[in-house]
């Protein structure tokens, strides 16, 4: 894969990088697996196990490595998805939680593979940056009460009384 992107993210998995990448590309348009290299004979994992998986999500390049249990994913790093509608928030939220994901506060979740995601309305950035301090405080107050984000409720908080 010839990279047009100067900086990309590499995620460390124990053994499930290929399955995770296949799942993630199924969720986003303009996504694909670009290449998979595999462990050979005498490697620390069974021959044929994916070593590195290169893929694109919505046109952004990522790499995953099956490196074993030495390092684990944590909330210190998350993928933020800016959604155009409540329907998109709902679809991705449900899909990423399926089969063992865990809800977290303020639009965050961990998927079944342990990767943290922020599923947020694209409009949130503007609500936080364009309004005055009172509007920002109302939006943050509403957001802090949510698990899955509710775009109409955030917009109502932004508009105010």
Instruction: Let me know whether 58 and 78 are in one domain.
Output: no
Residue 79's H or E segment, with its range, is strand 78-83
Last residue of a domain, one of 49, 72, 95: 72
Instruction: Let me know whether 92 and 150 are in one domain.
Output: yes
Query: Is it the case that residue 2 has pLDDT exceeding 90?
Result: no
| pLDDT tens, position by position, 66-81 | 999 999 999 999 999 9
Q: Are 24 and 57 in contact (CB under 8 A)?
A: yes
Q: Can you give the residue range of the structural domain that contains 55?
A: 1-72
Instruction: Let me know whether 123 and 161 are in one domain.
Output: yes
- Measured CA to CA, the distance from residue 158 to residue 130 in angstroms comes to 10
Instruction: Let me know whether 81 and 155 are in one domain.
Output: yes
Instruction: Let me know whether 85 and 119 are in one domain.
Output: yes
pTM (two decimals) = 0.92
Q: What angle do CA 60, 66, 71 make, to 5 degrees?
A: 95
| pLDDT tens, position by position, 82-128 | 999 999 999 999 999 999 999 999 999 999 999 999 999 999 999 99
The Cβ of residue 68 has, within 10 Å, a number of other Cβ atoms equal to 12
DSSP one-letter string for 10-75: EEEESS-HHHHHHHHHHHSSS-EEEEEEE--TTSSS-TT-EEEEEEEETTEEEEEEE--TTS---T
pLDDT value for 25: 98
Instruction: Let me know whether 88 and 135 are in one domain.
Output: yes
Query: Is it the case that residue 130 has pLDDT exceeding 90?
Result: no
Mean pLDDT over each residue of the chain, to the nearest integer: 95
Q: Using CB atoms within 10 Å of the CB of residue 93, give its burial: 0 to 12 exposed, 13 to 18 middle, 19+ buried.
A: buried
With a pLDDT cut of 90, the percent of the chain lying above it is 94
């Amino acid at each position: 894969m010839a990279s047009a992107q100067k900086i990309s993210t590499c995620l460390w998995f124990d053994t499930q990088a290929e399955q995770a990448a296949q799942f993630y590309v199924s969720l986003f348009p303009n996504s694909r697996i670009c290449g998979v290299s595999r462990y050979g004979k005498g490697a620390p994992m069974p021959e044929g196990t994916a070593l590195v998986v290169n893929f694109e999500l919505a046109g952004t390049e990522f790499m995953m490595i099956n490196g074993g249990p030495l390092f684990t994913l944590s909330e210190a790093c998350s993928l933020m998805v800016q959604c155009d509608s409540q329907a998109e928030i709902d679809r991705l939220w449900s899909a990423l939680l399926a089969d063992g994901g865990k809800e977290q506060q303020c639009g965050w979740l961990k998927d079944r593979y342990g990767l943290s995601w922020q599923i947020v309305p694209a409009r949130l950035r503007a609500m936080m940056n364009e309004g005055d301090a009172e509007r920002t405080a109302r939006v943050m107050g509403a957001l802090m009460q949510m698990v899955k984000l509710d775009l109409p409720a955030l917009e109502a908080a932004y508009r105010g009384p």
